[in-house]
Amino acid sequence: MTTPPHITVNVADSLAAYRESDATAALPSIKIVHLSDMHFVSSRFWKRLETLYEGVRGHNPNTLPALECEIASLKPDILIATGDQTTFGDKPSLKAAKEFLLQLGGKSGVPEERIYWIPGNHDVLLNYYSPIPGLRRNYDQVYGDLRIADSCVIAGSKLAIFSFDSTLDRKGQRSLLWPIVGSRGRVSPRSFNSFNDGLKPIEADRDYFKIALIHHHPLPIPFKSGSAIGLELTTMFNGGTFIAHMQESGMNLILHGHEHQPYSCRYCYEPEGNDIIVVAAGTACQNGSKQNSFNYLEVVPKVSVTIRQYAYSEAGFRIDRGATKTFRLATT
């Protein structure tokens, strides 16, 4: 008679793993709601163009109270909108989207200074196609200057948030392909210089958890179907440079939108540096989208980043449990 194979369970290891996960859950976390690509269209004039093609659709008004209801119950510390707050970049829509974000912050207990926004390519669309020399872009007039570097303490942790404008400057882009490539992004040398200046005061302090906000995606999104003409038309021109520089600058997390496809990954360009977690949010409320969603992140600095996805149906937003991801962070 043969003896059945023996399976050894190391109880000490299992207990240690349990305690570790339990301890992590008990640590205070920074709670972030990450919305993107709301695509507000609030004026009747621009609404008429919505039927032209799906890329210029506006927001679904039914999603707005649903967002307010769900996000108010999450009580985040920070609210972030990573661009394409509007579809055309007209002032009434830009103002309506900003008012909605401020109202959302008010209902969720997020103070105004903890609400962050950056422009997307659609927010500056009118300025691309009817540029008036010397006139400030509609986006800048409504949302003000970019907060290039900002820091605060939340849940006992030091946090630094860096904002980028990755929309293209049409000057110097006189290509005939402009209507096709106009949705691609780039971080300009001037923006890199401003970022480097903003980083300097905290660069040596390793206690800061650092987050970069950008609209375009620095990495191609996997598993998406390509464009009809077989060209990659939406990834940043210098996404590789951007993400490599972020890692050498000690960034921990990059949040972006643009593709309307939720996605996250860990990136490592420099093996000796900390890995970066890159997170894309879908479109929170664009009409007719395959899926509206937003991300809710719980960050425990030096321990973990957990990303939860909330998806919309006519019954409201609810968590998509299968989409939750936790990235463990190096403890250096």
Residues of the shown chain interacting with Fe ion in the complex, contacts defined by CB under 5 A: 37, 84, 120-121, 258
- CA distances from residue 130 to 68, 90, 137, 170, 302 in whole angstroms, order as listed: 35, 12, 11, 11, 47
**CB proximity list for 331: less than 8 A, separation 6 or greater:** 302, 303
89, 56 contact by CB (below 8 A): no
CB of 121 or CB of 264, closer to Fe ion:
121
CA distance 218 to 114: 25
Count H helices and E strands in the chain, helices first: 9, 13
CB of 74 or CB of 311, closer to Fe ion:
311
CB of 280 or CB of 297, closer to Fe ion:
280
**CB proximity list for 143: less than 8 A, separation 6 or greater:** 94, 98, 117, 119
Rg (CA), the chain: 21
CA distance 36 to 82: 5
Q: What is the dihedral of CA 235, 137, 94, 183, to 10 degrees?
A: -20
Question: Shortest distance, CB of residue 53 to Fe ion, whole angstroms?
Answer: 13
Question: Shortest distance, CB of residue 89 to Fe ion, whole angstroms?
Answer: 11
H-state helical runs in the chain: 11-26, 44-47, 63-74, 91-108, 125-129, 138-143, 178-181, 189-199, 239-248
Question: Shortest distance, CB of residue 275 to Fe ion, whole angstroms?
Answer: 26
Question: Shortest distance, CB of residue 254 to Fe ion, whole angstroms?
Answer: 16
Question: Shortest distance, CB of residue 16 to Fe ion, whole angstroms?
Answer: 45
Question: Shortest distance, CB of residue 34 to Fe ion, whole angstroms?
Answer: 14
CB of 121 or CB of 157, closer to Fe ion:
121
CB of 143 or CB of 209, closer to Fe ion:
143
CB of 209 or CB of 263, closer to Fe ion:
263
CB of 118 or CB of 199, closer to Fe ion:
118
- CA distances from residue 44 to 9, 288, 295, 296 in whole angstroms, order as listed: 67, 18, 30, 33
CB of 286 or CB of 304, closer to Fe ion:
286
Question: Shortest distance, CB of residue 56 to Fe ion, whole angstroms?
Answer: 10
| CA within 13 Å, CB half, 69 | 10
Q: What are 16's two structure tokens?
A: 């240690």
Question: Shortest distance, CB of residue 293 to Fe ion, whole angstroms?
Answer: 13
